[in-house]
Amino acid sequence: MMFSCIFIFCLLQIPKFISAIMFNISRCYYIISEEFHHEGDVVIGAFFPLHTFYTEKKMPHSTLPYQYLDNYIQYNFKNYQYILALLFAIEEINGNPNLLPNISLGFDFYNVRFTEKDTLMNAGIWLTAHVERKVLPNYNCKKRNFTAAFTGTSWITSAQIGTLLHLFKFPQITFGPYDPLLSDRSQYSSLYQIAPKDTSLTLAIVSLMVHFRWSWVGLILPDDHKGNKVLSDFKQEMERRRICIAFVKMIPATWTSYFTKFWQNMEETNVIIIYGDIDSLEGLVRNIGQRLLTWNVWVMNVEYNIKLITDYFLLDSFHGSLIFKHNFRENFEFTKFIQTVNPSKYPKDIYLPKLWYLFFKCSFADVNCHVLDNCQSNASLDILPSHIFDVAMSEESTSIYNGVYAVAHSLHEMRLQQLQRQPFENGEGMEFIPWQLNTFLKNIEVRENRSIDWKLAIDAEYEILNLWNLPKGLGLKVKVGSYSASAPQGQQLSLSEQIIQWPEIFSEIPKSVCSESCVPGFRKVTLEGKAICCYKCTPCADNEISNETDVDQCVKCPESHYANTEKSMCYQKSVSFLAYEDPLGMALASIALCLSALTAFVIGIFVKYRDTPIVKANNRALSYILLITLTFCFLCPLNFIGQPNIAACILQQTTFAVAFTMALATVLAKAITVVLAFKVSFPGRMVRWLMISKGPNYIIPICTLIQLLICGIWMATSPPFIDQDAHTEHGHIIILCNKGSAVAFHSVLGYLCLLALGSYTMAFLSRNLPDTFNESKFVSFSMLVFFCVWVTFLPVYHSTKGKIMVAMEVFSILVSSTALLAFIFGPKCYIILLRPDKNSFNHIKKKTSH
């Protein structure tokens, strides 16, 4: 079938044949009739636009014999389907014995020229049935039964005829696009719109934009009340779905040569929505074809727009277009009916002879312009290319078909009521006044579950068609999807993307955006003074991600996660602490163990050489206590290394505080003992008692108890606990011990510093005592180092985070403990091990004598 159409169409393009048609047109074409009639007992009026007269001459068209037949007339044979739909419905009804038995329907056809004067003239002639094209108001010359007038496709035509018919309350059915203006019962009391309302069309088109991520689209609308209403609907829905309008073009009522600015900025977007009816879009569609705008995706409403594409070359500009068409059941009987239509079957038809003459090489008989000779044997309308004549029943034809049935059922109901009141005699026809039909028309249900009750809003379903023009001239409309407003949310739009053909310039799904999409890891920043669809992309902030395109805000990763380098994903942080396996932890642990071993070695030396003068002279008991305490001080850092737990966190601070308190208290006791020993040269009762009772040794437990009390209060009120630091090291959660009460921690340090200050003071006072083994100077140096370490520790401790903070505290403990070991016991070990000659009573006597 398709290849037959293409073959026939190619034959039509043969230059010699075209030339012959254009310059040898029969005189029969100049005998133009404005109307023809199909007889019946009850007559329907049909006002359809099939050809237009021009007041100024037009040049003959070189390639479209079916479009411009001479310098004054323009035909649109696609609209001829309206007449066939009317005829098909009437023949079905006349052949149905159960619907209007013994009564036949007929019709009077009048061409609509789109001029108000001619339109009203034809309506007046039909009402008066005057043959001389004169209007005689309130007269019916032929005394025929009129039923209803069918008008379309323009709301303007329906409104013009409706103004006249409103005076007589004459029923009028319009099959053009639904228009709210025509529902005004005060102006059009007897007008019924049979076309479904476009209640969901805006939602359907915007859903398509959202599906393909087209956020920057143009709008072309008629410059009338309906265009303004649709523009408002589009703006509201697009704003809700975050789609921006690149431009709005309002189609003027009249196209002029000065209207070139209409086409400016058309290249700003790849997707343009065209909304309107046949009348308002005729000039636009032809201009698009003439300008060969082949780089746009046209999204059009219903099928009205495609009816305008009757030009072979116009199809190139609209290849890849998407058309929204009301979903209705296809009538295959109508297609069969079209195959039987020919001029001999309907001799009164004024258009069939012209179609056969143009496309099937027929010639007019000299006597009668309705008689044809030398026609092709297989001549039929169904072999014509679809862009010339489409055999599939269009939406308008379906509305006409349903409208005729609505009229027939209304007449049938009226006849039944009349028969009940006063039965007719045999052979008597049906008599009624047309306005009586309104009562029945209001609530008649017609096919496709539609109603011509103007109060009924229909939630329409739409088919989405894709126009294919490959191969050239095919003009095939392929269903690629559908939209149903009644479907569940998220399932309203259905598309088969793989079969959609786009304009040839696009190798993939076209993009239509004002700004390129922001990839994951970036967010949109709206530009001032621009539409929300025009923006720039900026990277997400630290530890924030965006894993989708075109996000407005980045999402912050949870505390337990971190953002990757591209800032597109959050990864789980690994747990980290100052472990023995870490180089830093291993080094500190090794140093602590080595120093504790060294301290144990010093204890061994002092035990071995306990009877030597140097050991005796420096108070062996206090030296042993200090060395043992320093051993524990060196072992304290081991509590800080390894995975923290509650016990470790508590032991870290308490063992450190108690061990250092005992060490400093021991140093203080040694310093006081030296001072008291010097005072023996001038003995007093108190000094003698202190020396005998070894009073300075009590300083150690007293000072230790005070520190234990501070630690007890600390542990009772706000003890240390396990804490997490998720910010210091990227990608890691550091587990460490939180000190709990900062006041308690600083109180412990302050108390240690107080003890160190006391020891330093006593050592300083005894620095010049004439003792051979006077260690006051070494105690002073050790306390000075202690102060330097811990005074430096506080600001550094508070300025570091994570494992470094823990390591800093461990380092301070090790350094301060080493200072005590080195300065107090280093010189003694040097004498004991390397200079034993100085470790004798003779040397002491010699130093004393001097």
- The CATH number of the domain holding residue 638 is 1.20.1070.10
734-745: pLDDT as tens digits: 888 888 888 998
In 3D space, the residue among 517, 537, 521, 519 whose CA is nearest the CA of residue 569 turns out to be 521
636-646: pLDDT as tens digits: 988 888 888 88
Inform me whether the pLDDT recorded for 86 exceeds 90: yes
| Phi-psi category of residue 490: left, alpha or beta, with phi > 0 → left and psi -120 to 50 → alpha | left
Question: Which range among 83-92, 192-201, 306-315, 672-681 has the greatest average pLDDT?
Answer: 83-92
Domain boundary among 537, 572, 607: 572
Record the tokens describing residue 369, joined without a space: 């312009």
Amino acid 770: pLDDT: 56
What distances in angstroms separate CA 686 from CA 618, 690, 692, one per listed residue? 22, 6, 10
H helices of 112-194, in order, are 116-128, 155-167
Residue 61 lies in a domain: yes
Backbone angles phi, psi at 761, to 5 degrees: -65, -45
| CATH number of the domain bearing residue 335 | 3.40.50.2300
What distances in angstroms separate CA 430 from CA 12, 104, 423, 754, one per listed residue? 49, 10, 11, 125
Q: Are residues 397 and 323 in the same domain?
A: no
What is the mean predicted confidence (pLDDT) over 184-203?
Answer: 85
CB 748 within 8 A of CB 653: yes
463-479: pLDDT as tens digits: 899 988 776 666 678 89
Q: What is the rounded distance in angstroms from the CA atom of residue 465 to the CA atom of residue 469?
A: 13
CB 479 within 8 A of CB 464: yes
Q: Are residues 802 and 830 in the same domain?
A: yes
Amino acid 126: pLDDT: 80
Q: Are residues 47 and 188 in the same domain?
A: yes
User: Helix or strand or coil: residue 106?
Assistant: strand
What is the percentage of the chain residues whose pLDDT exceeds 70? Answer: 79
Inform me whether the pLDDT recorded for 211 exceeds 90: yes
60 or 276, greater pLDDT: 276
Amino acid 299: pLDDT: 92
Amino acid 69: pLDDT: 44
DSSP class per residue in 830-849: HHHHH-GGGSSHHHHHHHHH
Pairing of strands 721-725, 73-75: unpaired
What is the mean predicted confidence (pLDDT) over 59-87?
Answer: 63
Q: pLDDT confidence of 20, banded at 50, 70, 90?
A: very low
What is the mean predicted confidence (pLDDT) over 208-233?
Answer: 90
In 3D space, the residue among 263, 271, 299 whose CA is nearest the CA of residue 215 turns out to be 271
In 3D space, the residue among 733, 720, 590 whose CA is nearest the CA of residue 648 turns out to be 720
CB 411 within 8 A of CB 441: no
Question: Which range among 7-11, 452-456, 552-556, 823-827 has the greatest average pLDDT?
Answer: 552-556
Q: What is the rounded distance in angstroms from the CA atom of residue 124 to the CA atom of residue 117?
A: 11
Q: What is the rounded distance in angstroms from the CA atom of residue 478 to the CA atom of residue 398?
A: 19
Inform me whether the pLDDT recorded for 653 exceeds 60: yes
Q: What is the rounded distance in angstroms from the CA atom of residue 639 to the CA atom of residue 401?
A: 94
Lowest mean pLDDT of 346-355, 366-375, 392-401, name the range: 366-375
List the Cα angle 502/508/509 in 5-degree steps.
Answer: 70
What is the mean predicted confidence (pLDDT) over 688-695?
Answer: 52
Q: Are residues 730 and 792 in the same domain?
A: yes
Q: Are residues 192 and 241 in the same domain?
A: no
Where are any strands of DSSP class E within 357-455? 363-364, 372-373
Question: Which range among 157-166, 415-424, 709-718 has the greatest average pLDDT?
Answer: 709-718
Amino acid 257: pLDDT: 53
What is the mean predicted confidence (pLDDT) over 539-566?
Answer: 89
839-849: pLDDT as tens digits: 766 655 555 44
What is the mean predicted confidence (pLDDT) over 319-342?
Answer: 86
Lowest mean pLDDT of 43-52, 395-404, 415-424, 800-809, name the range: 415-424
Amino acid 30: pLDDT: 61
837 or 335, greater pLDDT: 335
Residue 508 lies in a domain: no
281 or 751, greater pLDDT: 751
Record the tokens describing residue 420, joined without a space: 């009940």
Pairing of strands 522-526, 570-572: unpaired
Inform me whether the pLDDT recorded for 7 exceeds 50: no
Residue 505 lies in a domain: no
Inform me whether the pLDDT recorded for 594 exceeds 60: yes
What is the mean predicted confidence (pLDDT) over 299-310?
Answer: 60
Residue 511 lies in a domain: no
Q: Are residues 597 and 714 in the same domain?
A: yes
Q: Are residues 543 and 609 in the same domain?
A: no
What is the mean predicted confidence (pLDDT) over 380-409?
Answer: 85
Inform me whether the pLDDT recorded for 480 exceeds 90: yes
Residue 514 lies in a domain: no
Average pLDDT of the residues of the chain: 79
Amino acid 303: pLDDT: 53
Inform me whether the pLDDT recorded for 628 exceeds 60: yes
Q: pLDDT confidence of 6, banded at 50, 70, 90?
A: very low
Q: Are residues 673 and 803 in the same domain?
A: yes
SS3 sequence, 429-495? CCCCCHHHHHHHHCCCECHHHCECCCCCCCCCEEEEEEEECCCCCCCEEEEEEEEECCCCCCCCEEE
323 or 24, greater pLDDT: 323
Residue listed under structure tokens 């508070």: 798
Q: Any bridge partners for residue 250, and if so which?
A: 221
Amino acid 164: pLDDT: 85
Amino acid 21: pLDDT: 37
Record the tokens describing residue 273, joined without a space: 């929505």
Amino acid 330: pLDDT: 77
What is the mean predicted confidence (pLDDT) over 740-765?
Answer: 84
Residue 516 lies in a domain: no
Task: Look at the chain and report how many structural domains it folds into.
Answer: 4
Amino acid 471: pLDDT: 66
Q: Are residues 588 and 708 in the same domain?
A: yes
Record the tokens describing residue 427, joined without a space: 């052979």
Amino acid 135: pLDDT: 65
98-154: pLDDT as tens digits: 988 888 999 989 888 767 777 778 777 787 765 555 666 666 666 567 788 888 777
Amino acid 375: pLDDT: 80
Q: Are residues 556 and 476 in the same domain?
A: no
Pairing of strands 476-484, 461-468: antiparallel
Amino acid 585: pLDDT: 87
Domain that holds residue 282: 201-327+460-499
Residue 310 lies in a domain: yes
Q: Are residues 188 and 232 in the same domain?
A: no
Q: Are residues 832 and 767 in the same domain?
A: yes
What distances in angstroms separate CA 628 from CA 96, 295, 602, 622, one per listed residue? 122, 91, 10, 10
458 or 229, greater pLDDT: 229
Q: What is the rounded distance in angstroms from the CA atom of residue 667 to the CA atom of residue 584?
A: 31
Amino acid 60: pLDDT: 39
Amino acid 187: pLDDT: 87
Record the tokens describing residue 261, joined without a space: 């600015």
Residue 182 lies in a domain: yes
| Phi-psi category of residue 694: left, alpha or beta, with phi > 0 → left and psi -120 to 50 → alpha | left
Which helix H or strand E contains 271, and what residues bound it?
strand 271-274
